Structure 1
Amino acid sequence: MASHKSKKRKGNDHGGNENGPIDTSKPSAVFVPSSGRTHTLSIALPGSIIANAVTPEQKTALAGQIARACAVFCVDEVVVFNDGQALIRPPERDGYTAFADPNYFLYHVLTFLETPPHLRRALFPMHADLKLAGALPSLDMPHHLRSDEWCPYREAVAVRQTESKDGVRGTLLDCGLSDRVSVPVQLDDHTRVTVKLGEQSVASSTKPMVGEAVSPDAPREEAGYYWGYSVRQASSLGAVFTEAPYDGGYDVSLGTSERGVPVQTIVQPGNEDYVAPTWQHLLIVLGGVAGLEAALTADQELKKAGVTEAKDLFDAWVNLVPSQGSRTIRTEEALWIGLANTRSLVEARNFGP
């Protein structure tokens, strides 16, 4: 078997040299990890935005726009919440959910797109929700590795359990490499797992490479890789907070509204509302057509708790586009704008104290 000595992940080589021009015909921006990070960026948005798209093609394309924004701006978690603005009913006869349960449809497509292409066939049975997803633009995230690229970490799927002559049990994995990879733990078939291979592991003609099954957060926390986003559903706006996967929840949350303060007040140092680069888990929440106020109205638990204004749920209530020219800004547009306008907060946290 090949030793992968020539399969190191390519650096940020723009194709130019001292004797020739830079080749701009091919993508050249490759994510380069620095040091490990434990802080995360999350976004939350309602699945009801899918209900506002008319055709299956438009609904799938909308999910693709959201996934692309998350990939470009290194979002670690996506929360799809029910804001009570879309009628939920059983799926259609073929299982298609975009018209029946837009929250699940968005969750389903986002999860599919985040999954590395070489794993999708094993992890996702044929489904009507995903019929058009294969035509969406690629996310091309750092864990969407080509077979000739080397990385100390990889996403894999369990192929079958094994047992050596010495009685050592393990699992054979498909990591998207030409060589087999084995981990010394038993996993159910078709289980997705993050594998740490170390530096230039080598397989022989009789034995596969040996890896280590690690947490999906390990590439980010240990080495600083952006390793895609997780997706979860929340039954309400309040559940976005109460079901947070992090100890202590989100320490900084931003609600977005045209009735909020200009976003510049939280991103520019020196302002009273500036968000200092000391947060651990940052959450940006966007509303649907009717805004976050409608999501609060539909949330009986928050109303019972005495919450009367949506802005009271957040550390900051911000307007992403002050003096907007259009009467409305669509959620998928607000996502791109919001992530771009708050990028300085993330960069300050990445490279700050």
Structure 2
Amino acid sequence: MSVHKSKKRKTTQEVTADTSKPTAVFKPAKGRQHTVSIALPGSIIANVATPDLKSRLAGQIARACAVFCVDEVVIFDDGQAEVGPPEHDGYTAFRDPNFFLYHVLSYLETPPHLRKALFPMHPDLKTAGALPSLDMPHHLRGDEWCPYREAIAIRQKKNADGTFGTLLDCGLPQHVYLPVVMEEKTRVTVKLPEHAPSSGGEVSCQAVSPDAPREEAGYYWGYSVRQAPSLSSIFTECPHDGGYDMSIGTSERGIPVSSVLADDESHVAPEWNHLLIVFGGVAGLEAALSSDTELLEAGVTDPKELFDRYVNLVPGQGSRTIRTEEAVWAGLTALRPLVDIRNAV
């Protein structure tokens, strides 16, 4: 009979890594002119039963956008959910799921120190405060210094020489001064000195475009949100000059997503400036097309005609359906190499 020697389990383990602070803090490398946008239908909210679950779904979408540095989210109407006036208390998720998703995503993108002033109490946001934090680079703590910040106008200030400016709250212990008169509760992106002042005196700043942190320094600065009344308006109302120069539609009837990364005719070269990835709802992009009169009148019969690439995100999927919130995570993961290669150019 063999004799088994018991080994004494170690009760302590030497930890060499400093786990007191996150190690994945976003570090800008260089200015970035290109952008990544996603589009999805608000009808996915209508497919969820309870208000709490509706908010959680919006939170999942917002988390994916933050993790993968999405610059724009388009909420489009695919005609698969009835739209009407809000309920008597103002709650919109059951009557206008497109607006509800837009509302919650906008709230979550806003830095916490601005939310109270920019978003009055609303039934749509009743449980949004309990959703996981996005913790994006522009969601700065009061003791963190960054040359860019999101701010809100507090009040006007008269200077000794008789000129007027505006005091802003940008999440720092002290207000900052902008030498421009602005209306109270106006959100503005500001540029501060490169380094924090040694004294605790007043800090002056300048107003810049919301794109400046990304274009000038390479920061990921959150996502913008817009609503589109149809599938076609995703493209026709694009905010970029020249539109999206690389569009990818997602469907189980598309080519394998790996094809856009392979060295063949479906390969996507790292030359695009504005990438758009469009996800369908429960009934897919075919349903969105069938509800778009402009596209139908133009003779479009297959949604893949609208895109530069039409891809299947999970070939050989085991489940009969992939939910849109799952497709967003799967799609942004699968297509991340396209962004990494473009970033390196």
The equivalent residue for 2:96 is 101
Query: Which stretches in structure 1 are left out of the alignment for 5+ residues?
Result: 1-18
The equivalent residue for 1:34 is 29
Is the 8 Å Cα contact of residues 145 and 196 (structure 2) preserved in structure 1? Answer: no
Counterpart amino acid of 1:107?
Y
The equivalent residue for 2:49 is 54
The equivalent residue for 2:6 is none
> Offset of 1:337 from its aligned partner?
0.3
Counterpart amino acid of 1:218?
A
> Which of the residues 241, 244, 248 maps onto 2:242?
248
Matches within 5 A, 1:157-306: 157-202=152-197, 208-268=202-262, 270-306=263-299
**CA distance in structure 1 between the aligned counterparts of 2:299 and 2:182, rounded to whole angstroms:** 46
TM-score computed with the length of structure 2 as normaliser: 0.94
- The one-character-per-residue Cα deviations of 1:105-164 (angstroms, maximum 9, x if unpaired) are 000000000000010001000000000000000000000000011100000110011221
Counterpart amino acid of 1:57?
D
Counterpart amino acid of 2:95?
A
3-state SS of the aligned residue for 1:237?
Answer: coil
Which stretch has the larger CA shift, 74-83 or 302-311?
302-311
**CA distance in structure 1 between the aligned counterparts of 2:73 and 2:218, rounded to whole angstroms:** 19
> Offset of 1:198 from its aligned partner?
2.1
**CA distance in structure 1 between the aligned counterparts of 2:214 and 2:108, rounded to whole angstroms:** 19
Is the 8 Å Cα contact of residues 170 and 182 (structure 1) preserved in structure 2? Answer: yes
Query: Which stretches in structure 2 are left out of the alignment for 5+ residues?
Result: 1-13
**CA distance in structure 1 between the aligned counterparts of 2:323 and 2:280, rounded to whole angstroms:** 9
The equivalent residue for 1:9 is none
> Offset of 1:302 from its aligned partner?
1.0
**CA distance in structure 2 between the aligned counterparts of 1:23 and 1:155, rounded to whole angstroms:** 30
3-state SS of the aligned residue for 1:42?
Answer: strand
The 1:192–1:203 alpha-carbon spacing in structure 2 relative to 1, beyond 3 Å, is farther
TM-score computed with the length of structure 1 as normaliser: 0.92
> Which of the residues 315, 330, 334 maps onto 1:337?
330
> Offset of 1:201 from its aligned partner?
4.3
3-state SS of the aligned residue for 1:284?
Answer: strand
**CA distance in structure 1 between the aligned counterparts of 2:23 and 2:212, rounded to whole angstroms:** 26
Q: Percent identity?
A: 69
The equivalent residue for 2:117 is 122
Is the 8 Å Cα contact of residues 252 and 283 (structure 1) preserved in structure 2? Answer: yes
> Offset of 1:52 from its aligned partner?
0.4
Is the 8 Å Cα contact of residues 179 and 203 (structure 1) preserved in structure 2? Answer: no
> Which of the residues 329, 334, 346 maps onto 2:339?
346
Q: Which runs of 4+ in 1 moved over 3 A?
A: 23-26
**CA distance in structure 2 between the aligned counterparts of 1:159 and 1:208, rounded to whole angstroms:** 15
> Offset of 1:317 from its aligned partner?
0.5
Q: What is the RMSD of the two structures over their aligned residues, measured on CA atoms?
A: 1.3
**CA distance in structure 2 between the aligned counterparts of 1:290 and 1:126, rounded to whole angstroms:** 34
The equivalent residue for 1:112 is 107
**CA distance in structure 1 between the aligned counterparts of 2:179 and 2:139, rounded to whole angstroms:** 24
The 1:95–1:266 alpha-carbon spacing in structure 2 relative to 1, beyond 3 Å, is same
Is the 8 Å Cα contact of residues 45 and 93 (structure 2) preserved in structure 1? Answer: yes
**CA distance in structure 2 between the aligned counterparts of 1:329 and 1:177, rounded to whole angstroms:** 43
Largest Rg, 1 or 2: 2
> Offset of 1:203 from its aligned partner?
8.1
Count of residues paired in the alignment:
332
**CA distance in structure 1 between the aligned counterparts of 2:336 and 2:283, rounded to whole angstroms:** 26
- The one-character-per-residue Cα deviations of 1:163-196 (angstroms, maximum 9, x if unpaired) are 2121222110001000210111111100110010
**CA distance in structure 2 between the aligned counterparts of 1:100 and 1:25, rounded to whole angstroms:** 45
**CA distance in structure 2 between the aligned counterparts of 1:348 and 1:45, rounded to whole angstroms:** 25
> Offset of 1:74 from its aligned partner?
0.1
Is the 8 Å Cα contact of residues 63 and 110 (structure 1) preserved in structure 2? Answer: yes
> Offset of 1:20 from its aligned partner?
5.8
Matches within 5 A, 1:60-75: 60-75=55-70
